[in-house]
Amino acid sequence: MKDLTPLRNLGIIAHIDAGKTTTTERILYYTGVNYSIGEVDDGTATTDWMPQEQERGITITSAATTVHWKLNDNDYQINIIDTPGHVDFTVEVERSLRVLDGCIVIFCGVAGVQPQSETVWRQADKYNVPRICYINKLDRVGADFFKVVNQIKNKLGANPIPIQIPIYNDDKFDGIIDLIYQKAIYWDLLNAPDGSLLIYKDIPDNFKVIVDKYRAILLEAVAELDDVIMDKYFNAPDSITEKEIISTLRKGTLSSKFTPILCGASLQNIGVQPLIDAAVNFLPSPADIGYVKGINPKTGEEITRKISDDEPLSALIFKVVNDPYVGRIAFTRIYSGSISQGEMLYNSRLNKKERAARLFRIHSNKQIKIDSFSAGDIAAIIGLRESITGDTLCDPSHPITFESFYFPDPVISIAIEAKYQKDFTKMLESLQKLADEDPSLLIKTDEESGQIILNGMGELHLEIIADRLRREYEIECNLGKPQVNYREGIIGKTIHREIYKKQFGGKGKYAELEFELSGEPFDKIGLTFENIVGNSLTKDYLRSIEKGFKSAMLNGILAGYTVLNANIRLLDIVTHPVDSDPLAFEIAANIAFKEACKKLKIVLLEPIMKLEIISPSEYIGDISSDITRRRGEILQIDSQESYQIIRAEAPLSELFGYVTALRSLSSGRASVNMEFARYDVCLDVIAEEVIFKTKGIKVNL
């Protein structure tokens, strides 16, 4: 059995511009993968390989890279996923975290915990991913390591334990103090500008008070997890060894009892090598995870699978990419067993086998051919034509299905058409390939106009899609104006009985059901379906009834938008011995839902966005007034040394083109980050206008 302890599957996550890709480039350089350091600003970053990424200086897709690192004479393999920080691409973060064992969360030493920092932290919480934190950009004016540590504690609810603190000489970031080994570390940038020469010295006298303070916090944290260290802590603290501290820190990190905090300035080549050491020391190997849970697709029972190559195959496809040269690539996390080139792989969703024609390890957009992969690995598989993101590959004799991914509903849509009619079919095929890669992109055809509608997570998201059509598929497109994806909400409660009868000469259709329909809170998205009839219905009938309700929810009675928040309790059903079948109940449920809605108050819901605006103080008044004019609400204004931060909420419909407007208001000096917050009830006057546009009728609400 392969030893999994030297393997790490890690993600690098953060808010946009915190320095994720810059840090990854240094990791690639110091581990010997790259012979020079790529930079985001000049478009040479290895993991930013798409032209759009190189131009915009942001990471859009999760680039996968494998590196090797030697620590204490042991060799480690680290598979790194560099993920986007822009809110429009959080789907990439979500699916990457699902298959990773640990992650490095990077914070800007100046901006601290920002909205997307909170989002990615919640995503990591969702999948119980252990993490370490790296406070970056400490060379910049206004950076404050200890302020950010406090924000991690207060805003994220974490238990941050600094294992390093920064050294400043004459306000210049000069190095770090290692609280475990009690040494000062400097980077000799004069003789080695690439940051490859580290110098270890005794801690400067003027830092000893603060070192004693944070060393005590560190020792107290590890003592709480280990009785031997606890005894030493009270009786002989100097006898606690570095090995004991590291071992117990690892235990606390894996159990999420606390989060080690490191520091540096990646762009200045300071702090990255100790960060790699910490990733190896404190983040889990697949062996630490132990096992994974899934469902037996034949019985519906929960089962577990040990992470080992001695177990039957189980693997999860977490990303699909269409490469112009090698075709469709399925990025796959192997939890157990192994995959060999040419092997037929069973897909439990499709209930069929597909051939793994070729296997690769991916380094950014370069492929390195591999004959086989085993438990713990992240593989790139070519040849799976029908498998999609979220599918499970397994041994058909020992079937298992892992929970698929949850992707949020798109909040914005835009009409798209090929500039030249000859490209129309090619555009549809290309869009389908892009949708295969990106589950947050939905492509629909408007039934009335016949237009192709793109639905996505934000303006930038859809701009990138159009740009990829032009660059990768050589299709020029025209885009319409962005449109808001409204929803409909149910208020109140009713009981409805529906009888569906149809005769066709011979066998007819009969279904009778009674149910209670009520509205959930608007943050409870989707259908909550409860059967209290008992076991008198087969699973086929229940599935058909639920399917009928769900299909009816896609086309609300107010303006044709999806109903957001239905709660249904099935109270009674009546069947006919000859004319009843699952299809009859599906049709009945569809009709019944719409009839029940007519008895209730249905409201139009609009997406509300959370904004964080960073601006010099002199523009705050104008910016605040503009937010109010856009039907927004100022929640909080925080003052920093040279700027202020406005936290606000506003309807998405009022925010199209807001980035450009903000630049104008602030002479280009303010920036904004937007994130979906929730759906809320539209003002009647807005709802009436939307209904008129969609249905062509005037209503008074």
Mean pLDDT of 542-568: 92
Note the pLDDT of residue 111: 87
Q: Do residues 264 and 326 both lie within one domain? A: no
Note the pLDDT of residue 363: 66
Q: What are the residues whose beta carbons fall under 8 Å from the beta carbon of 234, sequence distance 6 or more?
A: none
Note the pLDDT of residue 591: 96
What CATH number should be reported for the domain holding residue 627?
3.30.70.240
Q: For the chain, what is the mean pLDDT?
A: 88
Note the pLDDT of residue 58: 35
Q: Do residues 229 and 152 both lie within one domain? A: yes
What CATH number should be reported for the domain holding residue 295?
2.40.30.10
Note the pLDDT of residue 117: 78
Residue where a domain stops, chosen among 394, 425, 460: 394
Mean pLDDT of 671-695: 88
Q: Do residues 432 and 580 both lie within one domain? A: no
Note the pLDDT of residue 533: 67
Note the pLDDT of residue 115: 67
Note the pLDDT of residue 446: 79
Q: Do residues 24 and 85 both lie within one domain? A: yes
pLDDT at 54 over 70: no
Most confident of 110-114, 364-368, 370-374: 370-374
Note the pLDDT of residue 32: 86
Residue where a domain stops, chosen among 239, 263, 288: 288
How far is 417 from 603, CA to CA, in rounded Å? 32
Mean pLDDT of 192-198: 94
Cβ-contact 421, 394 below 8 angstroms: no
Q: Do residues 535 and 647 both lie within one domain? A: no
Assess if residue 95 is contained within a domain.
Answer: yes
How far is 673 from 690, CA to CA, in rounded Å? 27
Note the pLDDT of residue 39: 58
Assess if residue 14 is contained within a domain.
Answer: yes
Instruction: Give CA angle at 566 (565, 567), nearest 5°.
Output: 120
More confident residue, 81 or 628: 628
Assess if residue 465 is contained within a domain.
Answer: yes
pLDDT at 518 over 60: yes
Q: Of 263, 241, 245, 258, nearest to 184 (Cα)?
A: 263
Q: Do residues 182 and 259 both lie within one domain? A: yes
Per-residue pLDDT of 273-314, as tens digits, reads: 999 999 999 999 999 999 999 999 888 889 999 999 999 999
Q: Of 397, 323, 396, 386, nearest to 360 (Cα)?
A: 323
Q: Do residues 384 and 308 both lie within one domain? A: yes
Assess if residue 180 is contained within a domain.
Answer: yes
What CATH number should be reported for the domain holding residue 531?
3.30.230.10
Q: Do residues 58 and 150 both lie within one domain? A: yes
Assess if residue 211 is contained within a domain.
Answer: yes
3-class DSSP assignment, residue 155: helix
Which residue range is the domain that position 658 belongs to? 604-695
Mean pLDDT of 372-398: 92
pLDDT at 635 over 90: yes
Assess if residue 404 is contained within a domain.
Answer: no
More confident residue, 673 or 61: 673
What CATH number should be reported for the domain holding residue 257?
3.40.50.300
Q: Do residues 458 and 570 both lie within one domain? A: no
Mean pLDDT of 561-573: 90
Mean pLDDT of 44-49: 47
Note the pLDDT of residue 164: 98
Report the percentage of the chain scoring pLDDT > 90: 59
Assess if residue 45 is contained within a domain.
Answer: yes
Q: Of 375, 362, 364, nearest to 314 (Cα)?
A: 375
Per-residue pLDDT of 59-97, as tens digits, reads: 334 456 888 999 999 999 999 876 664 445 566 677 778
Mean pLDDT of 510-536: 80
Q: Do residues 573 and 661 both lie within one domain? A: no
**Alpha helical stretches, state H, 322-478:** 424-437, 459-472
Q: What's the one-letter identity of residue 297? A: P
pLDDT at 43 over 70: no
Mean pLDDT of 98-113: 91
Note the pLDDT of residue 669: 85
Structure confidence at residue 40 as a pLDDT band (50, 70, 90): low
What CATH number should be reported for the domain holding residue 459?
3.30.70.870
pLDDT at 52 over 50: no
> Strand 412-418 vs strand 358-363: parallel, antiparallel, or unpaired?
unpaired
Q: Do residues 31 and 148 both lie within one domain? A: yes
Q: What are the residues whose beta carbons fall under 8 Å from the beta carbon of 273, sequence distance 6 or more?
A: 30, 195, 198
Note the pLDDT of residue 132: 98
> Strand 477-479 vs strand 483-484: parallel, antiparallel, or unpaired?
unpaired
Mean pLDDT of 504-512: 83
Q: What are the residues whose beta carbons fall under 8 Å from the beta carbon of 137, sequence distance 6 or more?
A: 18, 19, 108, 109, 110, 143, 265, 266, 267
Q: Do residues 198 and 90 both lie within one domain? A: yes
Per-residue pLDDT of 127-180, as tens digits, reads: 899 999 999 999 999 999 999 999 999 989 999 999 999 999 988 999 999 999
How far is 397 from 304, CA to CA, in rounded Å? 15
> Strand 102-108 vs strand 131-136: parallel, antiparallel, or unpaired?
parallel
Assess if residue 1 is contained within a domain.
Answer: no
Residue where a domain stops, chosen among 565, 599, 633: 599
| Confidence (pTM) | 0.74
How far is 272 from 33, CA to CA, in rounded Å? 15
Note the pLDDT of residue 648: 96
Per-residue pLDDT of 333-361, as tens digits, reads: 999 999 999 999 999 999 999 999 999 88
How far is 152 from 196, CA to CA, in rounded Å? 30
Mean pLDDT of 266-272: 96
Structure confidence at residue 55 as a pLDDT band (50, 70, 90): very low
The total domain count for the chain is 5
